[in-house]
């Protein structure tokens, strides 16, 4: 049973660089979510896909952030011109339908030098 897979697990980069994270959801799940978690806080919703369509974006998702799910399978989250405040754990989750729970990957930890 393969769960949600995220890559890389840890990314260290200099301020101002661009970074891209990948998420592979559970295979039959058509809904995919991105969340951000900072130390001592619960995850915060960033964006949501149903198949390849991005249906909702949080106010937290500034114009430096972009997410894609080109074929309705894996998704990428890109952050351009990274800032210190972007340091966080970026979590991906997937679910089969609205009334089914979301299952999370182990996240990508982003550290900005």
Partner 1 sequence: QKEVEQDPGPLSVPEGAIVSLNCTYSNSAFQYFMWYRQYSRKGPELLMYTYSSGNKEDGRFTAQVDKSSKYISLFIRDSQPSDSATYLCAMSAGGNNRLAFGKGNQVVVIP
Report, in Å, the least distance between residue 61 CB and partner 1. 12
- For 85, list phi and psi in degrees, rounded to 5: -70, -10
Interacting residue with partner 1 among 19, 24, 25, 35 (CB under 8 A): 35
Query: Does the protein bind partner 1 through residue 106 (CB under 8 A)?
Result: yes
Which span (13-21, 59-67, 71-79, 101-109) binds partner 1, by CB under 8 A? 101-109
Nearest C-alpha neighbor of 31 from the set 48, 56, 6? 48
Query: Does the protein bind partner 1 through residue 91 (CB under 8 A)?
Result: yes
Q: Which is nearer to partner 1, 1 or 99 (CB)?
A: 99
Query: Does the protein bind partner 1 through residue 102 (CB under 8 A)?
Result: yes
How far is residue 45 from each of residues 13, 15, 19, 61, 70, measured CA to CA in Å? 23, 23, 19, 9, 20
DSSP letters spanning 2-29:
---EEE-SEEEE-TT--EEEEEE--TT-
Report, in Å, the least distance between residue 81 CB and partner 1. 27
Residues 40-69 that bind partner 1 (CB under 8 A): 40-45, 48, 55-56
How far is residue 77 from each of residues 86, 99, 100, measured CA to CA in Å? 13, 25, 24
Report, in Å, the least distance between residue 42 CB and partner 1. 3
């Amino acid at each position: 049973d393969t769960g949600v897979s995220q890559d890389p697990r840890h990314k260290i980069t200099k301020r101002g660089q661009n970074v891209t994270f990948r998420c592979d959801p559970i295979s039959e799940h058509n809904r995919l979510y991105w969340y951000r978690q900072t130390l001592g806080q619960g995850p915060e919703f960033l964006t949501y896909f149903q198949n390849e369509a991005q249906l909702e974006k949080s106010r937290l998702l500034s114009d430096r952030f972009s997410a894609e799910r080109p074929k309705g399978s894996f998704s990428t989250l890109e952050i351009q011109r990274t800032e210190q405040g972007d340091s966080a754990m970026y979590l991906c989750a997937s679910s089969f339908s609205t009334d089914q729970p979301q299952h999370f990957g182990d996240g990508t930890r982003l550290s900005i030098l």
